[in-house]
Chains A and B, each alone.
Chain A
Amino acid sequence: LSLEQAKTQGLIGEQLNGYVGIVTASPSTELHSLVTDINQQRRALYQQSAQEASVTLEVFEIRAGQRLQGRAKTGEYLQDQNGQWRRK
C-alpha cells in the first residue's frame, strides 16, 4: 500500500501540521505502520530544512501543512482547523 493509494482510497489525509493522519475508523496495522513511517521521515526532513531556512520547526511544519493541503487532489481528505476530516 503506497501513500498515494491510501490517499485516493480515503484511508489517510493531510493534517494541518504537515503530517499525514488516519481518516478511516478501522485502520489496518499495515496502514498504521505506513503512517508512522512516513511521518517519521517527514519529521527528519522538516528538522533539517527548518534549520536551513533558520525558522523554528513549528513554523516550518505549519507552512508545509498549508502547502500540502493546497496541492492535495480534489476528493482527498484534509483536516480542518477544528480537527475534522473534510473532502477537498
Chain B
Amino acid sequence: LPVSINTQAKLDTNLRGEVDWTLTETPAPALVSALRPFVEAFPSSLSLEAGLFKATGRLNLTQNDWTLRAALELTSADLLYGNNQIEQLHWQSDLQLNHQGKLNSTGQISAAQIYIGLPVQLSPLKYELVKTVKQTQLSVAPFTASLLGGQIYLPALSFDPGQPDMIFLISLRDFNLGSILELYAEKGLYGEGLIDGQLPVQITSEGIRIQGGNVGTVQAGLIRYQPDENLDAMAASNIGLRLALDALSNLHYQLLDMQVDYHPNGDLLLSTRLQGNNPEWQQGRPIDLTLTIEDNIPELLKALQITGRISDAVDNHFQR
C-alpha cells in the first residue's frame, strides 16, 4: 500500500490503551487502485483521476473491545463514474467504528461541477450515516441542484440506502425552456420562458418514480420550431402534424401546463398543454395545443454524453 501511517501508542503490558495514528497526505488515485481489490464497494466503472487523501484518528483498546475514531479528508479530486464526471470533489468525514461493527459517521461532500451529459452543480451535501450489523440509515440535509438555468430544491431525507422506500416532494424553480430544448440539439428548435414545478418523487429498490408531477408557468414565453424537410414532408399527409407544426412555427404562449410521469425504467411522459397564439398564422387565432411527449432519460443522457464526447474527439482529431 503506497501510504505511510505514523502511530504513537500508549499501551500497557496487556495491550490496553490508545494508539494515535496519522495517514499523511497521499495521492488518492494510487490509494484507490491499491485498495480496489479489497473493497468491493468500488464499482469498476468508478475511477479517481486526481485528488489528495489524508486521515488521522485514535484507536482505543480496552478490556475486550476497541473503538476507532477517524477524521478523513479527500481534496480536489476528479472522478469518472461511467460517462459521468465529478470535478474538484471535496469530501470530509468524521467517523467512529467499534468492535461490534457499529459505525457512526457524519460528513460533507461538495464538488465544483458534475457532468452527467449536462453540467450540474450541487450545493454542499451534509450527511449522517449510521450503520449497524442489522441496519443502515443515511440522513441527508436539504440541498439544491442547479441545472438548465434553474434549481431543484430537495428536502431533508432519511432512508436505508440498501432498501430505499420513500416519497418526497421536490420543487423546480426558474428552469430555462431554451436550455431544456437545447438538450435535444434539434436545429430549428428554440424556446424562451421560465418554468417552475413540483414533483412527488418516489424511490424504492425498483428505482425512481414520479406520478402526477406538475410543471408549468403562467408567465408568457415562446416556442419556435422549423422542422427539417422530411418532417415537413410527413406533415403533408398528416393534418394534425401540419396544424401543430404551423402553430409551433412561432407560438407565443401565455400558459404552459405539463404533467410529468417518470418510470423506474427511465421512460418520461410529458402531457403538455399550451395556450397562446401564433401572430403569423390565422391572424393570431387563439391556439389550445395538447402535446404528449415520450422520452427516456437514461437514453437522453447517454446520447448527450456520447455526442458531447464524440464531437470534441472528432474536433481534436481534425485539429491535430
Partner-B contacts on A (CB < 8 A):
16, 58-59, 62-63, 66, 70, 74, 81
Contacts and interface: CB of A to CB of B under 8 A. Distances in A.
Contacts of B317: 58, 62
A20 B33 CA distance: 24
A81 B316 contact: yes
Nearest to A70: B45
B310 A59 contact: yes
Interface string B21-50: 000000000000100100000000100000
Interface centre among B36, B306, B310, B313 (most CB of A within 10 A): B313
Contact of B306 (A16, A63, A70): A63
Nearest to B316: A81
Interface of B: 33, 36, 45, 306, 309-310, 313-314, 316-317
3 nearest A-B residue pairs (beta carbon): A62-B313, A74-B33, A59-B310
A70 B84 CA distance: 12
Nearest to A55: B310
A58 B317 CA distance: 10
A83 B180 CA distance: 37
A62 B310 contact: yes
Contact of B309 (A58, A66, A74, A81): A66
A62 B314 CA distance: 8
B130 to A, nearest CB: 33
